[in-house]
Amino acid sequence: MMRLLSPCLEINERGRLAISGCDAVELAGQYGTPLYVMSEDEVRRVCKSYVQSFQKFYGGHGRPIYASKAFSCKEIYRIVVSEGLDVEVVSGGELYTALQAGVLPQHIHFQGNNKSAGEIAFAVENGVGDIVVDSFSELRLVERIAEGNNAVVNISLRIKPGIDAHTHDFIRTGQIDSKFGIDLASGEALEAVRQSLSLEHVSLKGLHCHIGSQIFEVEPFVHAAEVMLELFGQIKSQFGVELEHLNLGGGFGVRYTQRDDALPYERYMEAVSQMVHKKCKDLGLDQPEIYIEPGRSVVAEAGITLYTVGAIKEIPGVRNYVSIDGGMFENPRYALYQADYTCLLANKANAPADYIATVAGKCCESGDLIQEHTPIQRPEEGDILAVLTTGAYNYSMASNYNRNPRPACVMVSQGESRIIIKGETYEDLVRNDV
């Protein structure tokens, strides 16, 4: 029997895939397919483990921040905030959603490499607690907008620490050749600190870095903490200022397939905290508040997507296309990154996965695939195909390509299910057409 990837998944007594006590085939029948399903229990379990790690390794002197680009809707903000996390947003739209969900502005961190004046004004007017400034031009813009609002705005600076973590090129961000952040090695970072300290309407509270995403090694995170704290030391000696917080970003790897060797998150926390304690001692620094900013690891393994199998085309000596009623419009990650996924037939979850399938979407495009040459149970039209670990960067990256409506999202917990995002209708698709 295959090993399921997340603790919220099991094969029930009917031999079917179940998520947090809900039978996946019944969910598909009740809500229709394609359908995103998200386990509240699993999201809360991960949030708790992060919060507990901060207690254990930093005496609670710090906090996890949920990077909501992974999955943004009102209910997820309510859930993570109720577990004691802050939230990170990267656009006016995510900020608006978080505020609508009732997140207190002081718990919001606003990232992004090219925030518009309108977005910054929106954040300043709403009293967002931390604007993470990404460039010199943004620093000037924030100062100008804060001045216009008669406000002093808390900021941090996003620094490029020059660390090259092993992951897909498009999701690496900490190296020098990156559109994100202010460069450390060339001295730009210290210059940005100098300028920030001289401005009247911004108050520099901390520094931020993020080295990439879907990273399995501990070492790059430890190294980032070391490099960033050395910068804290330089800031103290040059400007006589000790900053209040250090945000070490997100990027912790999750299991898409059994080959992914994801570490328990506590291991990153432990290793990084050892470096933080050591460096602060060596440099005579008060330990700043430590933030981390996980997105994927909070929601990815909590989510699955359910589809109905349609046409099956077996091309001898070539491949077997198994078509589903979704595709790159609700999960573009294979088309974009050749991302690995585990697929199975939810209604035959106990049967051997001895059929090699290419799972194809319904978009008019050959590259519209969910997975190639992947083992699943022997498929028939009408089967319910589940793709695992789709809680992150699926709904949030979905589109209306080919005017397909985005599917609904159902939240499950202890055998109960509820809609948290309604499926789009054809009416929704023409709403803004003139």
Q: Cα–Cα distances in Å, from 431 out to 329, 424, 425?
A: 19, 11, 10
Q: Which residue(s) pair with 309 in the sheet?
A: 324
Closest approach, Cβ 70 to ligand LLP, in A, equals 5
- Exposed, middle or buried, 402 (CB in 10 Å: 0-12/13-18/19+)? middle
Q: How far is the CB of 14 from ligand LLP (least distance, A)?
A: 33
- Of residues 134, 138, 293, 368, which one binds ligand LLP by CB under 6 A? 293
Q: Please identify, using beta-carbon distances, which residue of 166 and 278 lies nearer to ligand LLP.
A: 166
For position 262 contacting ligand LLP by CB under 6 A, the verdict is no
Determine if 251 is a binding residue for ligand LLP (CB under 6 A): yes
Tell which positions 145-174 bind ligand LLP, by CB under 6 A. Answer: 171, 173
Question: In residues, how long is the chain?
Answer: 434
Q: Is 133 in the site for ligand LLP (CB under 6 A)?
A: no
- Residue 16 or 158: which CB sits closer to ligand LLP? 158
Which x/- pattern over 6-45 shows residues binding ligand LLP (rule: CB under 6 A)? ----------------------------------------
Does 296 bind ligand LLP (CB under 6 A)? Our answer is yes
Instruction: List the catalytic residues.
Output: 364
Distance between CA atoms of 76 and 303, rounded to whole angstroms?
Answer: 12
Among all chains, which residue has been given the structure tokens 């900013």? 293
CB of 28 to ligand LLP, least distance (A): 24
Helix axis angle, 136-148 to 188-198, nearest 10°: 10
User: Looking at 136-144, 289-297, 306-314, 340-348, which segment touches ligand LLP (CB under 6 A)?
Assistant: 289-297
How many angstroms separate the Cα of 243 from the Cα of each of 90, 191, 237? Answer: 23, 15, 12
Contact partners, residue 319, CB within 8 Å, separation at least 6: 356, 358, 372, 373
Nearest approach in angstroms of CB 1 to ligand LLP is 29
Question: 93 in helix, strand or coil?
Answer: helix
Nearer to ligand LLP, 205 or 333 (CB): 333
Does 67 contact ligand LLP by CB under 6 A? yes
- Return the structure tokens found at 256: 């898409």
The reply to whether 181 sits near ligand LLP by the rule CB under 6 A is: no
Taking CB under 6 A as the criterion, the residue among 64, 161, 294, 391 binding ligand LLP is 294
Nearest by Cα to 409 from 304, 323, 295, 325? 304
Q: How far is the CB of 250 from ligand LLP (least distance, A)?
A: 3
297 touching ligand LLP, by CB under 6 A: yes
Q: In what order do the strands lie in the sheet with 22-23?
A: 9-11, 17-19, 22-23
Per CB under 6 A, contacts with ligand LLP among 231-250 are: 249-250
Q: Which of 210, 223, 245, 348 binds ligand LLP (CB under 6 A)?
A: 210
Quickly count: other Cβ atoms within 10 Å of residue 224's Cβ. Answer: 26
Evaluated on CA atoms 361, 365, 366, 372, the torsion sign reads negative
Using CB under 6 A, count the residues that bind ligand LLP. 21
**Cβ-based neighbour number of residue 142 at 10 Å:** 25
Residues 306-365 touching ligand LLP, rule: CB under 6 A, are: 333
Q: Considering beta carbons, is residue 109 or 348 the nearer one to ligand LLP?
A: 109
* Contact flag: residue 143 with ligand LLP (CB under 6 A): no
Q: Are strands 384-388 and 343-345 parallel, antiparallel or unpaired?
A: antiparallel
Under a CB-based contact definition with an 8 Å cutoff, are residues 266 and 227 in contact?
no
Record the tokens describing residue 125, joined without a space.
């007017």
Binding site for ligand LLP (CB under 6 A): 67, 69-70, 88, 111, 171, 173, 210, 213-214, 249-252, 293-297, 333, 393
